[in-house]
Structure 1
Amino acid sequence: MNSCSFPLFIFTIVIFLRYLNPTGAATCHPDDEAGLLAFKSAITRDPSGILSSWKKGTPCCSWNGVTCLTSDRVSALSVGGQEDVAGSFLSGTLSPSLAKLQHLDGIYFTNLKNITGSFPQFLFQLPNLKFVYIENNRLSGPLPVNIGLISQIEAFSLEGNRFTGPIPSSISNISRLFQLKLGNNLLTGTIPLGIANLELMSYLHLGGNRLSGTIPDIFKSMPELRSLILSRNGFTGNLPPSIASLAPILRFLELGQNNLAGKIPDYLSRFKALDTLDLSKNRFSGVVPKSFANLTKIFNLDLSHNLLTDPFPTLYVKGIESLDLSYNQFHLKTIPKWVTSSPIIFSLKLAKCGIKMSLDDWKPAQTYYYDYIDLSENEVSGSPAKFLNETEYLVEFKASGNKLRFDLGKLKFAKTLTTLDLSRNLVFGNVPATVAGLKTLNVSQNHLCGKLPVTKFPASAFAGNDCLCGSPLSPCKV
């Protein structure tokens, strides 16, 4: 679940700095020109021509990604890759000569993908630097022990690199930080207790590392914290009590894929501004607090893959966007009415939730926005045909291990569908040729019959049916 991407105000700053250039015709300061051209010379591949406008003797304030807000000095440098265009990324290293850009207050190197090297030491030599976003590259090695010396930094992101080792305790000296993003690296060790000193923090992202130990009880000193992302690590123990102090303004709490245990704290029901709560793939047990009914603004709730038990409370949300309660010990019997009535839901995952209803009786308020459905391992009967025929943007439909009974040959589905799993049901009829456009298909263990259309799927996708034939199964009898 995707949560807490870039806060809006930071995104606005980046766009502003990237495109606003009132002194575009200014002569380039010799130091800035030298530093920028050294940066370009350290780039070994630029297949998209991102740096093609960087030419010696031309005004560097007009170069792509270069911003000058005062006089002729470069104040921001923004070089980004095209994430959706394969083979368009820069290769090379970050030149230490960027230290020549002494008026630089913002660096934005995002999605360059193939930039290698260690932590950029030139960051220590830029006295006006406030915003650092060096994201989704291939920088590696440890973070410097003295990282706290860049104490003037306000927003610092090294997300999506390959940094290893511990988070240096000196990071607590960067007291002006309101955003710290070290997620999706290979960092180890525990969260330094000194992070409690970062009292202006509004966005803390350490997810997707190899951090361990308990989550420290440090959050009372962070009254501005709106996003806390610690998912995909190895944290153990219970949730620290000081998380309760974040109730007034916290919007994103993502703690999934750890080894946390205990009961879900009742205090979470006081988080009236909460948009996203992810506690998935932990070892939480007991019942979900009945007071969760107070979470009237929650849009994304993921409690899947825990040890939670009945009863699940009724929520009074105006519209849930995504819900995943799969693989607990719930016996919901039906898809909850507060889910069915949501006009904005796009993801519904209730695998192995003890649902015993007919899809013929399920009448969701809308089908237009649904992208993902997973009703696997229940006792769902009837036919999904009406639902599948009405969806516009469905990407995945999974309903294996149920009692669905319908004619697969008459099924229509959205052009966007990539995954269809109807295995271990009571489905009959032929396999339609339209399944060839899917990326993943499993219709095994049903009552299908007839010649298979030409597809790329293995025999296991069709095994265990009554009389299917043709490649990749046995040839049809003439």
Structure 2
Amino acid sequence: MNTSSSSSSFPLFIFAAIIFLRCLNPTGAATCHPDDEAGLLAFKAGITRDPSGILSSWKKGTACCSWNGVTCLTGDRVTALTVAGQSDVAGSFLSGTISPSLAKLQHLDGIYFTDLKNITGSFPQFLFRLPKLIYVYIENNRLSGPLPVNIGSLSQFEAFSLEGNRFTGPIPSSISNLTRLSQLNLGNNLLTGTIPLGIANLKLMSSLNLGGNRLTGTIPDVFKSMTELRSLTLSRNRFSGNLPPSIASLSPILRFLELGQNNLSGTIPSYLSRFKALDTLDLSRNRFSGIVPKSFANLTKIFNLDLSHNLLTDPFPELFVKGIESLDLSYNQFHLKMIPKWVTSSPIIFSLKLAKCGIKMRFDDWKPAETYFYDFIDLSENEISGSPARFLNQTEYLVEFRAAGNKLRFDMGKLKFAKTLKTLDLSRNLVFGKVPATVAGLKTLNVSRNHLCGKLPATKFPASAFAGNDCLCGSPLSPCKV
């Protein structure tokens, strides 16, 4: 499930505000404060590679308030520093370290170092020496080592993100002193140990992300005081036990609850059905058992639901959503028989994964209200018969189609599919005919164990992609007999 919306890098509204304020800068300022210039030039000196010239405008003796990424709102003093790589452009990233001389920028209230990728070093101690600093986003770099035990003395911070680095060791208990925080994001590091109980002190928190670490123990029962919490991400850790009862107190405004890829157990609590604002619920890859509460029908605003890879059993409730965007119920103990009507009728669905859900229908009988938005489909390990050809011919943006281990029977030679398709898995079915040349454009293909025949088109796929068919020949299989 794609739920990046809840654990994004620094919010767009802050970025927009920085750009707007940047435009208001007095560009005519002859120079900037000598301390600020010295600190910025020391930072530039600590950068060993800047292949895309992010810091090329930083030149001694020029007005530093007009340098790229530098914002001045109080005369000649620097108040915000934004240095961002382009996460989708390889080779645009800075290498080097963060100079401690940034402590000279005494009027700094915001630091935004995002997607620089190759910045190394330990936790930046200069943060403790900047009294006006309240927004810190140092994301997607390679900082490492432990978080300082006195991290709680950064008590003026309102937003703090160290997501996507390599910090190790425990979350210091002094973090409970950061009582002004509305956002705390320590996701995608290598942190260990348990969540400190003192985190209950962070009563202004609207977004908490500790996902993608190596945290252990039970999820502490600390949420009753967090009345502003809209996003909670604890996925991809090693948490065990049941969900704590105080999560129920988040029901009025919580929008994102992401607890996937842990070792949580017990039944899915029925109080989750009271979360009327819930947009995204991810409980995937845990050990939840029993039935999904029938009262889930009350989750009328849910767009993304992932309950896959658990031990859940029938019956699955009918939902009354206006439109689901992504649904994954794969690999439980469901016997749905059909793709549910509330799924088929969704006009906005882009991802449908119902692998091993006991579906026994003809593919031709499935007529979704909208095929335009579909990106990902996984219907593997069911008893679906017929042909997906009509559906595949209608999709325009499909990226992945998996239907291995069914009873699909159709002529593959007549199959057309979207130019966007990258993954096609039709293995272990009853597909016949020739393999069309268009499969050469795919990244992943598996049509093994079917009834295909004829000469294979030129592709880069291994022999295993075609094994176990009736009479396929040509590279990478045996040569065709003349």
TM (norm. structure 2) is 0.98
Aligned to 2:274: 270
- Identity over the aligned pairs, expressed in percent? 85
What secondary structure is seen at the aligned counterpart in 2 of 1:18? Answer: helix
What code does the residue aligned with 2:2 have?
N
What secondary structure is seen at the aligned counterpart in 1 of 2:198? Answer: helix
What code does the residue aligned with 1:293 have?
A
Aligned to 1:198: 202
State the alpha-carbon separation in 1 of the partners of residues 10 and 217 from structure 2. Answer: 33
Is residue 24 of structure 1 aligned with residue 27 of structure 2? yes
What secondary structure is seen at the aligned counterpart in 1 of 2:126? Answer: helix
Aligned to 2:414: 410
TM alignment of 1:50-449, pairs within 5 A:
50-449=54-453
State the alpha-carbon separation in 2 of the partners of residues 112 and 233 from structure 1. Answer: 25
What secondary structure is seen at the aligned counterpart in 2 of 1:32? Answer: helix
What secondary structure is seen at the aligned counterpart in 2 of 1:164? Answer: strand
- Given that 2:10 and 2:137 are in contact with CA atoms closer than 8 Å, whether structure 1 keeps it comes out as no
* Offset of residue 88 of structure 1: 1.2
CA deviations over 1:349-380 (Å, ceiling 9, x no partner): 00000000001100000000000000000000
CA deviations over 1:430-473 (Å, ceiling 9, x no partner): 00111011000000000000000111100000000000000000
* C-alpha distance 90-8 of structure 1, shift in aligned 2 (>3 A): closer
* C-alpha distance 8-275 of structure 1, shift in aligned 2 (>3 A): farther
What code does the residue aligned with 2:27 have?
G
- Given that 1:445 and 1:464 are in contact with CA atoms closer than 8 Å, whether structure 2 keeps it comes out as yes
- Given that 1:110 and 1:137 are in contact with CA atoms closer than 8 Å, whether structure 2 keeps it comes out as yes
What code does the residue aligned with 2:19 have?
R
Q: 2:476 aligns with which of 430, 451, 472?
A: 472
Worse overlay, 25-34 or 247-256: 25-34
State the alpha-carbon separation in 2 of the partners of residues 214 and 6 from structure 1. Answer: 22
Number of residue pairs aligned between Structure 1 and Structure 2: 478
What secondary structure is seen at the aligned counterpart in 1 of 2:77? Answer: coil
What code does the residue aligned with 1:25 have?
G
* C-alpha distance 9-232 of structure 1, shift in aligned 2 (>3 A): closer
- Given that 2:33 and 2:77 are in contact with CA atoms closer than 8 Å, whether structure 1 keeps it comes out as yes
What secondary structure is seen at the aligned counterpart in 2 of 1:267? Answer: helix
* Offset of residue 87 of structure 1: 1.3
What code does the residue aligned with 1:34 have?
A
State the alpha-carbon separation in 2 of the partners of residues 159 and 391 from structure 1. Answer: 36
- Given that 1:183 and 1:208 are in contact with CA atoms closer than 8 Å, whether structure 2 keeps it comes out as yes
Aligned to 2:11: 10
* Offset of residue 14 of structure 1: 1.9
State the alpha-carbon separation in 2 of the partners of residues 295 and 378 from structure 1. Answer: 27
What secondary structure is seen at the aligned counterpart in 2 of 1:412? Answer: coil
State the alpha-carbon separation in 2 of the partners of residues 256 and 163 from structure 1. Answer: 22
State the alpha-carbon separation in 2 of the partners of residues 10 and 388 from structure 1. Answer: 37
Structure 2 residue runs without a partner (length 5+) = none
* C-alpha distance 363-333 of structure 1, shift in aligned 2 (>3 A): same
State the alpha-carbon separation in 1 of the partners of residues 294 and 411 from structure 2. Answer: 41
* Offset of residue 24 of structure 1: 2.6
* Offset of residue 317 of structure 1: 0.1
State the alpha-carbon separation in 2 of the partners of residues 24 and 14 from structure 1. Answer: 20
CA deviations over 1:210-269 (Å, ceiling 9, x no partner): 000000000000000000000000000000000000000000000000000000000000
What code does the residue aligned with 2:144 have?
S
What code does the residue aligned with 2:387 have?
S
CA deviations over 1:388-428 (Å, ceiling 9, x no partner): 10101100000000000111111111111000000000000
- Given that 1:19 and 1:67 are in contact with CA atoms closer than 8 Å, whether structure 2 keeps it comes out as no
State the alpha-carbon separation in 2 of the partners of residues 400 and 152 from structure 1. Answer: 55
State the alpha-carbon separation in 2 of the partners of residues 266 and 222 from structure 1. Answer: 20
State the alpha-carbon separation in 2 of the partners of residues 211 and 8 from structure 1. Answer: 21
What secondary structure is seen at the aligned counterpart in 2 of 1:151? Answer: coil
State the alpha-carbon separation in 2 of the partners of residues 118 and 256 from structure 1. Answer: 29
What secondary structure is seen at the aligned counterpart in 1 of 2:247? Answer: helix
What secondary structure is seen at the aligned counterpart in 1 of 2:102? Answer: helix
* Offset of residue 6 of structure 1: 5.6
State the alpha-carbon separation in 2 of the partners of residues 210 and 92 from structure 1. Answer: 27
User: Which runs of at least 4 in structure 1 moved beyond 6 Å after TM superposition?
Assistant: none
What code does the residue aligned with 2:349 have?
I
